[in-house]
Structure 1
Amino acid sequence: MTARAESRIAPPAATRRARPIAGAMVAAAGVVMLATVVLSLSLGATGITLDAVPRVVASYLGGIEPMTTEEVRERLVILEIRLPRTAMGLLVGSALALSGAVMQGLFRNPLADPGLIGVSSGSALAAVAVIALGDGLLAPVVDALGAFAVPISAFVGGLIATALLYQLATRAGYTSIATLLLAGIALGALAGAITGIIVFGSDDRELRDLTFWSLGSLGGASWQKIGAALPFLVAALVLMPYLVRVLNGFLLGEAEAGHLGVETETAKRIAMVGVAGAVGAAVAVSGVIGFVGIVVPHIVRLVTGPDHRYVLPGSALLGGALLLAADSVARVIVAPAELPIGIVTALFGAPFFLWLLMRRRGGLG
């Protein structure tokens, strides 16, 4: 992209005047995220409070072994249960929200969301197949990939779903939003039906795990799971900010962005791979969690405007905060039991989506 083209893609004067507000929103999202981290580390049925966290972390880093039963219990709960859960919530929430922001910029419509248009369903289908058939038909794949079998399969499933969706919704360089939504519903239904067939053939143990996993949960968080999904999540989170100028160019329209020097086809491929990696890894470790990818970017965009220099980091920060807040609700609302987090996000996200759909009902054609 030439310097002239980059300058032409730069935001208008009104957007430049809004930079202090946009920057303040991103900073506020960071503060909210830190607050939800504190909340997540404080909650639990064990009675261990937040003041134990710095003490446990300091003793662990200093190589000091716990001397009493209470110290052993505190270290186990904080280092092996709460910290992994909080870290996973931040990564998954950021990945889903950032993926939603990229897809909305790519398709130029805030109704695009990985969970609504079938990308999450494609990732879930591939992950369920590996989980349920890992001891049988897909045993060679699991043996070859080891701990990375589920994240890699979820990534491939999400990539196939994203590429197929784009091919169905795009004709002559124009992406039909109506076709995008309808094709996404159809792909999601098809993936759900095949997933149901696989689940139907599972035994009781696999059925319980898959049912809870399909509703979304951070309850199985562990450092091993985070380690398996981390390469995909980090690669996607690092890759997507490089799409800022491209997505700002797409605000003018795909043809106009091409005239300004944006390599649109390359940009779309990079975006699809990044979204597939982020969504696939998120689905692999936490199950299907909907509406984060549509709610968070829209909230950020309402405050910052369309400039992706603020939309992308704001979405990543607020996405992690929203998922940790939803997880905190899921942990306490039916305590000592735990509500699947996908139910909580759907209860809040579905009405928001309906409101957004009613606002844009005149422009879906």
Structure 2
Amino acid sequence: MRRRTPAAAIGTSPEARTQGGQRPNARRGGRHTPLSVVVPLLLVVLLGTVCVAVSVGSVGVRLETVAEVIAGRLTGTGVSAGVMDDQIVWNLRLPRVLLAAVVGAGLAVVGVTLQATVRNPLADPYVLGVSAGAGLTASIAITLGSVAVAGLSTSAAAFAGALLAMIAVLGLSRRAGRVVPGRLILAGVTLSYLFSGATSFVIFRGGNAEAAHSVLFWLLGSLSESSWPNLSLPAAAVLVVGVHLMVRTRTLNALAAGDDAALSLGVSVHRVRVRLLVVASLLTGVLVAVSGGIGFVGLIVPHLVRLVVGPDHRRLLPVAMLVGAIYLVVVDVLCRVLVRPEELPIGIVTAVLGAPVFLWLLRRSEAS
């Protein structure tokens, strides 16, 4: 029987291999639609989804008006639409919709990176406890005031909490000077429970019903505080991290194939793993700081995309970014219209939609 070499494993992940060692594909024969077709198609879908999302709300705006306002603002030719439509489209809804797209793309990228780095199909942006750490410091800032967090705003406090959580998890996951993936997951889950318990204690002792409601809404995820200034940092972070990972897809493929295969290909596994974990944690901290806790996006989107385009990260990363962006824009629209004039926390909808999908994926993997 022919022995499989480590190089043959590149491009597969442990959860994506069959018992026979063959690489499963969404299509027989291993053929996939070229990226030159998939990416432009998804970009068109994303553009259309953004325009529809901007037009939908408590006050409807025609798609023609949306296109007119955006075109007028971008070209500097002025806007012939009414002042109210211009205010709704450009200052209220467009920043929120774009932030949803950025956060969705970022969470998908982090999910893909973590699943390859720790070789665990359950890894997602919040498995490292980064979200829980951000939630704790944000709840302190909301409940006790900025003085309790050295004068930081809620977003800045959340990012600081994410950094502290990342440092703690990386420290606890080391053994003999190296980060062990299994210990990383256990440390992340344990600290998540610890931070969540501390957050509940802060809310309980705060004694302010309004602040407690704000904390709960923020912990479940919300894009209601979106604005053009709040959009620039996460957009830049997602762009930089996305480009950084795109040029390192071979490294991600090697890590997904296993440490032995990666070492045989000259990858410094420990150093690369720590670097990728730090990058993923920092991006998660930036995203959580502007959107709160939004679960299941980084867990579900990579799995669904992997079924269609395969496990090769050269295809997986760009497609997952676009699908994540489209998905969260759609979810945000649902949050705004399902119970209007109220607004649902976005984490509720992602959980309701994501849990059944994950159970379906679980049954599908057991049947294969």
Amino acid at match of 1:316: M
Which of 305, 317, 320 is the matching residue for 1:315? Answer: 320
State the distance in 2 between where 1:205 and 1:184 align. 30
State the distance in 2 between where 1:63 and 1:234 align. 25
Match of 1:32 in 2: 45
Match of 2:104 in 1: 93
Change (3 A) 1:359 1:247: same
Change (3 A) 1:50 1:326: same
Match of 1:46 in 2: 59
State the distance in 1 between where 2:87 and 2:354 align. 34
The CA deviation at 1:182 is 5.0
The CA deviation at 1:258 is 1.1
Match of 2:149 in 1: 138
Amino acid at match of 1:351: P
Change (3 A) 1:164 1:266: same
State the distance in 1 between where 2:173 and 2:248 align. 18
The CA deviation at 1:30 is 3.2
State the distance in 2 between where 1:288 and 1:173 align. 26
Match of 1:200 in 2: 204
When the two chains are superposed, the root-mean-square deviation of aligned CA atoms in Å is: 3.4
State the distance in 2 between where 1:61 and 1:326 align. 26
Match of 2:19 in 1: none
Match of 1:122 in 2: 133
Change (3 A) 1:209 1:330: same
Q: Provide Cα deviations, 1:19-47, integer angstroms capped at 9, x if missing partner.
A: 64363554544343233212212211112
The CA deviation at 1:165 is 6.6
Bigger mean CA offset, 50-59 vs 314-323: 50-59
User: Are 1:105 and 1:251, in contact at CA under 8 Å, matched by a contact in 2?
Assistant: yes
Match of 1:284 in 2: 289
State the distance in 2 between where 1:120 and 1:311 align. 24
SS at match of 1:136: helix
Amino acid at match of 1:175: P
Change (3 A) 1:43 1:127: same
State the distance in 1 between where 2:118 and 2:70 align. 44
Amino acid at match of 1:35: G
The CA deviation at 1:91 is 0.7
Amino acid at match of 2:107: L
Gaps of 5+ in 1: none
Match of 1:149 in 2: 156
User: Are 2:101 and 2:326, in contact at CA under 8 Å, matched by a contact in 1?
Assistant: yes
Bigger mean CA offset, 51-60 vs 17-26: 17-26
Change (3 A) 1:343 1:191: same
Residues 152-191 of structure 1: pairs in structure 2 closer than 5 A: 152-157=159-164, 159-160=166-167, 162-164=169-171, 166-167=173-174, 175-176=181-182, 182-191=186-195
The CA deviation at 1:241 is 2.1
The CA deviation at 1:221 is 1.1
SS at match of 2:46: helix
Matched, 1:330 2:335: yes
Change (3 A) 1:352 1:329: same
The CA deviation at 1:190 is 1.0
Aligned length: 349
Amino acid at match of 1:102: T
Matched, 1:109 2:120: yes
Match of 2:305 in 1: 300
Match of 1:60 in 2: 73
State the distance in 1 between where 2:210 and 2:166 align. 29
User: Are 2:170 and 2:179, in contact at CA under 8 Å, matched by a contact in 1?
Assistant: no
SS at match of 1:47: coil
SS at match of 1:321: helix
SS at match of 1:288: coil
Amino acid at match of 2:198: I
The CA deviation at 1:360 is 5.8
User: Are 1:92 and 1:282, in contact at CA under 8 Å, matched by a contact in 2?
Assistant: yes
Change (3 A) 1:309 1:61: closer
Residues 217-256 of structure 1: pairs in structure 2 closer than 5 A: 217-256=222-261
The CA deviation at 1:173 is 7.3
Change (3 A) 1:50 1:121: same
State the distance in 1 between where 2:296 and 2:113 align. 15
State the distance in 2 between where 1:189 and 1:45 align. 38
State the distance in 2 between where 1:349 and 1:357 align. 12
Q: Provide Cα deviations, 1:93-148, integer angstroms capped at 9, x if missing partner.
A: 011111001000112232111234533222322333344455322234x2xxx797
Change (3 A) 1:117 1:149: closer
SS at match of 2:148: coil
User: Are 1:151 and 1:229, in contact at CA under 8 Å, matched by a contact in 2?
Assistant: no
Change (3 A) 1:161 1:290: farther
Match of 1:262 in 2: 267
Gaps of 5+ in 2: 13-21
